[in-house]
Every structure is written in C-alpha cells, then in structure tokens.
Amino acid sequence: MFKYPFSPNAGSNPGPSVTAAPPIAAQKPYAVVCRHGERSDPYYWLRDDERKNDAVLAYLAAENAYQAQQFADIKKLENQLFDEITARLKQDDASVPYRRNGYWYYTRFSAGKEYPIHARRRGTLDAPEQILLDANELAQGHEFYQIATLSISPDANWLAFCEDTVGRRQYRLRFKNLTTGAIQRDCINDVEADIVWANDNQRVLYIEKDPETLLGLTVKQHVLGQDLSLDTIIFQQTDTSFYTGVSKSKDERFIFLTMENTLSSEWRYADAGDSQFNFKVFQTGERDHEYQIEALHDQFIIRTNWQAKNFRLMTVRAGLESDRNQWHDLVAHRHDIFIEDFEVFNTFLALSVRSGGLKKISVKPLNVPPINAQSLKNAAEFFIASDEAAYSMSLSTNPEMNTEVLRYSYSSLTTPTTIYDYSLQSGKKKLLKRDPVIGNFDPADYRTEFLFAPARDAQLIPVSIVYHKDFVRDASAPMLQYAYGSYGLSMDPIFSSARLSLLDRGFVFAIAHVRGGQEMGREWYDQGRLLNKKNTFTDFIDVTRYLVANRYAAKTLVFAMGGSAGGLLMGVIANTSPQDYCGIVAQVPFVDVLTTMLDESIPLTTNEYDEWGNPADRKYYDYLLSYSPYDNVRAQQYPAILVTTGLWDSQVQYYEPAKWVAKLRATKTDQNLLILHTDMEAGHGGKSGRFQRYRIIAKEYAFMLGLLGALTDHATSPDDVRLPKRLANAPSTARS
C-alpha cells in the first residue's frame, strides 16, 4: 500500500496508486454569505464547535483509520524513527539553575518520565531540593497536560500556576502554598497564561477569556483565600482587535497592563504595592506606533518604532513619559539592524537584534545612574561574536539586575542549544551547558551554509542549509525545505536532534527565510503581509528552484513542510506549484483563510485584520480569495500530502484541514497519497509529553522516507529495516 518506487529519474509526482478507498466526505450545500457575494462550501458541515457531532467524529475516525492502513507497511520504520529520535534525549536532563530572590530555580526530568519537575534550592545549589510542581503527578488521568506558567509570590511562599488539560489553551489557574506544600482546592477556569503578583503577596492579577472567541478581555484581581465570586474587574477590554496582557517590571516595582495588535500598542503601569491599582497610561495607543517599556532606576526604557521602522531604544524620566519630546535616544535607529527585544541591568542593556538575516545579541554599557543623555552617547555598543555561518543567539533567563554577567543561549543547525554566561568585565564567555545528544553525535559530521537566493522580483531571500559532511552537491540528494513567513515571526537556524534522522539518511535541510518574517527587518515583514502576502509564497518556490538549479537537491526529490500559517504556505504551493515538490507535510494548516477571516466568532480573527486584511473591504476579500488554499483547489495533479491537525486546536480549528482534505479528494486528478491525521487528544502544539511529542515527527519522517522507497527491496528480514545506499551518504544514527 505504501511502497514507493524510487528513482532519481522518476516523474515529478512519484507515488503509488492508492489501493484502499479513502474516506469520502458527503457534500452538503452551504452558502458562505458576505456583502461581496456568496460562495458555496459543501464541506462546511465538518465544523463542530462543540466537538460532539457523531457524523463529524465518525469522519475524522475514518480518516485516522485510513492513515493507519496506508502507513501499515512503514509502521516499523515509523517506530524505528521514534526510538531513534528519543534515544538521543538524555533521560535525566536538567536546565541550568538561575538565581532569583535568594533561591536557585531549575527544571529537571526523571528517567522515563514525560513531564518536567519544577524545583528550587534556597541559598546555594547544595541546599535541599524543594519540589514546586511535579507535572508527572498532575498529568495523571489526562491524555494531554501542560503547565504554561509558574509565578512565585514576592515573599517566595506561594506559587500560582496555569495548566491545560485539553490542548485548547483555556488555562486553569491554581495556587500552591509552598510552606505547607498544599495545592488549594479552588481554581479559576478559562484564563490566559499571564499571572502577576502584587507586592502584598495576597493579590494576583489574571485575564479571563471570552468563552466563544477565546480572547483575553477581562483583567481580574483574586485575593488568596477569598471566594472566587468576589474577584473584581481591574480592566475590561472592549476593542477585540487587541490582545491584552499583564506583566511585571524586572525590578518588581510596577505592574504593566498591555494592549497590542499587529500595528499598535498601549501600555499602562501601576505601583505593584498600590492597593487600588491606579493604572496610568504610559503613551496613548495610536495606529502604526508599537512600543514596549521596562523600568530602570528613575527612568523608563522604551523600545519604539516611532520614526524608526526597525525600532530604537529611548529613555524618559518617570512621570514625563506622556510627552514624547522628553524621550531621548538610547540606541538609535538603524536601517540594517532590527531591534527585536531588550533586557535591562543596572549598568548595561542587552539587545536581541536581527542583522543580515541572523539573530544576534548586542550589549550597550551604561554609566552608573543617574542616566544622562551624554553618557548614553559615549557608551560604545558591541556584538557578541560567533564563528558559524548560520546561527541564532537569544537572551536567556536573567532575573537579577545587579550583575555584570549576561546569560544567553546559542544554537545553530549543527550546534545543540548552548547556555553561556558572558562577563562584561573580562569579555569572556563561560559555557554552562550544551544540550546533550546521546550516542555518537559529532557536530563536525555536519556542515551549514547561509546564502541568498534571488526571488523573481530581484529580492535576495536568506536561506539556511545543513547537510551531512559526506553530502555531494551533484543534484541527487533529497531535500526538505521549511518556512513560516507570517506575523513577523522569524524561523531561526537552530539545532534539532530529531533532524539528524534525515541528515544521516542523505537529506539536505533548508530553511527559506521568506518575506512575512522579520529576519531582514520590519520591511521584510511588511513585504509579506496584507496585499503583499503572495511574496511569501513565491519566495518559497523561488528558493526551491534556486537550490535545485544549484544542485543542492534532485528536482524530483524536494519535500516541503510548514505549520499553522506556514501550513497556509503549503496549501498555496500545492495549488500553484505542485510540479516542484514530490511531497508536502502541512502541519495544522491555516487553509480556509477567507471563511475564517469573515467569521468574528472564530478565535484570533478580529486580532488579525492587519495581518491578512479585513474581507469586509472588497480589495482584501478579492485578494484573500485569490490565494486561499481551500478556495483554489483545482482539478490537477498534486504531490503526495500529509496533513496533521488536533481536534482541540484553538489557533487553527481542526475543520480547516479536514475540509481541505475532503475537497482535495473530490477534485484532484492524481492517485498520489493524501493523508489526514487528527490527534483527538491534542491542540495546536500536538502531544504534550517530552517523548510523545516526537510521535508526530516520526510519522512525518516515515511519510517522506516512504515516498522515497526507504523500504523497497532493502529489508533482508521483517526485523531488519535498513537504509538504501542511494538515500544515505552516512550511517544511521539508530542506537537502540
């Protein structure tokens, strides 16, 4: 059933004739109506907001049964891949401890356990361990379990935490007395993951979600020990185009209330010890002005795009912030550097920036307070260096301000995530931990490149590439190309131990840093959204063709992968450029974009008009309709496609991929495999367990290797799954 004959000279859509009949969804007339006309959607009936409709659940079950049937011949390979990937994980791993208010906090795993143990030690790392939460115990009885947030009270005696037992990100807020070890019986349901303690150690601010749209609209206050019905409203959001959040300044003096959407933001602040929480507007929100703030001494530090497209850092004395004439440059705007985030310390600032397509860290020394304009100009900014071509640096956990040491993480396509402490005094870095990869992994066995591929409009698209050292650029290798390209989110070239299972089998892996992300600055994002969205899709295709033309991959052996909004990208290239790909993996794909953006009851819709466009406006309606994957399925040959989703997904509802697959089955003209896999106990992020989350990766890899004929004529016995030499320039990393 899943035996794919492999040949470098095969046609553009290699694959079997599907012998078992796939599920066929019934077509039921339904009109999607809006002011610009009416569209027929015969599979709209697959939408069930309650997840209880027998016909819908039966269809999803039939699709899952069909997937299992079609994967039967490669199930052994799928299991081998899962064992191979998880064997690389250190069973009893632990995070690097960080110090906060006299305690050392860390997370560790016990051998064979799926979930983390959160713990701390008082004073020194030699002190007795206090377990804050053991997620393995809390997860008992749940198919899905995730702790999203832990927040310690200022006196370190209470823990507030948010947990999700479904996967829909409708969190439950709970409290634990760290003195007695007792978890309170009362809990607060349907909240966001944001939690902030007041400085009195009794009051907690949280955000209640709207039950229909799942938007966090109501900021409430809960007092420990008080009946939940007495919780009071601190702030009510009325504009559903904004996300609402609560946070605390690093020095714990202020509580911040934030309202942000795609193009604008507004912050408010209140004294964390104020019994009334009298929030003051920092700067009134206005369209096209985004900013964020942090407190430092008697100043506020502001990251702002006011007259600075790529953002700059400014400073203003507390109390004068409403007058932008009082704002002064701290780190000036630069056209070639995008400021993404920052961290404050008493004597320096650390900036997370993007330059030349890569994520880097720069450091801005500060003279001791009081900060003044002259001292800011005289302090030289510098970058932390790297020796690799493609890499990513990120600010790590830095809770203390009175230090001259910066903690950061480093990763590349060949280097596992590594935690360093960088000393500003000595200019030297100290390695604290490199994520272990169990087995005979050696970074020297792999090579990485960072290059630029020309797009059809002459823009140069950054591309990060990794392959085994024995790879030969002779146009014979299989390649997996990945991208996202939306919301200004950048896909960084970071390490994946799971990916070794492809690299060791001769795959090239490439990340196309397409427009719609912010790898090349804010303009890169603007060129990939709204009426420029199609640049995202054509960039991906142009990168594929460039890499094939330059012999990184065989033309007939290119796979594409993307998730969520990246799944939208997969849907578009399947419609517009099916001849360029032999297989596509669409993870939780956002493929019914027009219908979703017309429906304000669907989570996230109203927040995203500045990303996709509001289809109430005819120009956006027409543009969305012109590329929406579901609306543009056509009678043509498609590559083999694996589609994944979660029944409880709150970001991209399960029925989008389900409808897309149903329409593809009824419309496409080929016999290539089309698979829908629905995880009935998970949401947008898939399974929650440390090991179990790799089940879906093993399935995706088995799908691709199956397409390449990894089992055809190369197994000497049912228990011997070996790799064809034509697919492997290096030995397998299987060690179990």
Catalytic, 153? Answer: no
Q: Which of 497, 631, 684, 688 is catalytic?
A: 684
624-649 confidence digits (pLDDT tens): 999 999 999 999 999 999 999 999 88
Nearest one of 544, 493, 454 to 357, comparing CA atoms: 493
**Mean pLDDT of the region 531-548:** 98
Catalytic, 649? Answer: yes
Asked if residues 709 and 677 have their Cβ atoms less than 8 Å apart, the reply is: no
According to the model, what pLDDT value does residue 19 have? 56
Find the largest Cα–Cα distance for the chain.
77
Asked if residues 576 and 541 have their Cβ atoms less than 8 Å apart, the reply is: yes
According to the model, what pLDDT value does residue 379 have? 66
| % of the chain with per-residue pLDDT over 70 | 92
Ordered domains of the chain (ranges, CATH): 31-86+445-727 (3.40.50.1820), 98-339 (2.130.10.120)
Confidence class for position 368, pLDDT limits 50, 70, 90: low
| % of the chain with per-residue pLDDT over 90 | 81
- In this predicted structure, the answer to whether residue 4 has a pLDDT above a threshold of 60 is no
190-200 confidence digits (pLDDT tens): 999 999 999 99
Q: Which stretches does DSSP call E strand in 523-639?
A: 558-563, 583-587
Q: Cα separation of 320 and 118, whole Å?
A: 41
Confidence class for position 335, pLDDT limits 50, 70, 90: very high
According to the model, what pLDDT value does residue 378 have? 53
Confidence class for position 372, pLDDT limits 50, 70, 90: low
Q: Cα separation of 416 and 466, whole Å?
A: 13
**Mean pLDDT of the region 549-572:** 97
Q: Which residue in the block uniquely carries the two structure tokens 């063709």?
A: 545
Q: CB burial class (10 A; 0-12, 13-18, 19+) of residue 124? A: exposed
Mean of pLDDT over the chain: 90
Q: Which of 241, 649, 679, 688 is catalytic?
A: 649
Report angle CA 330, 332, 334 to the nearest 5 degrees: 155
Nearest one of 118, 125, 123, 119 to 101, comparing CA atoms: 123
- In this predicted structure, the answer to whether residue 289 has a pLDDT above a threshold of 50 is yes
Q: Which of 151, 153, 564, 688 is catalytic?
A: 564
Confidence class for position 732, pLDDT limits 50, 70, 90: very low
**For residues 370 and 527, which has the higher predicted lDDT (pLDDT)?**
527
Q: Cα separation of 490 and 262, whole Å?
A: 15
Q: Give the pTM.
A: 0.90
The neighbour count for residue 451, using CB atoms within 10 Å, is: 19
Catalytic, 200? Answer: no
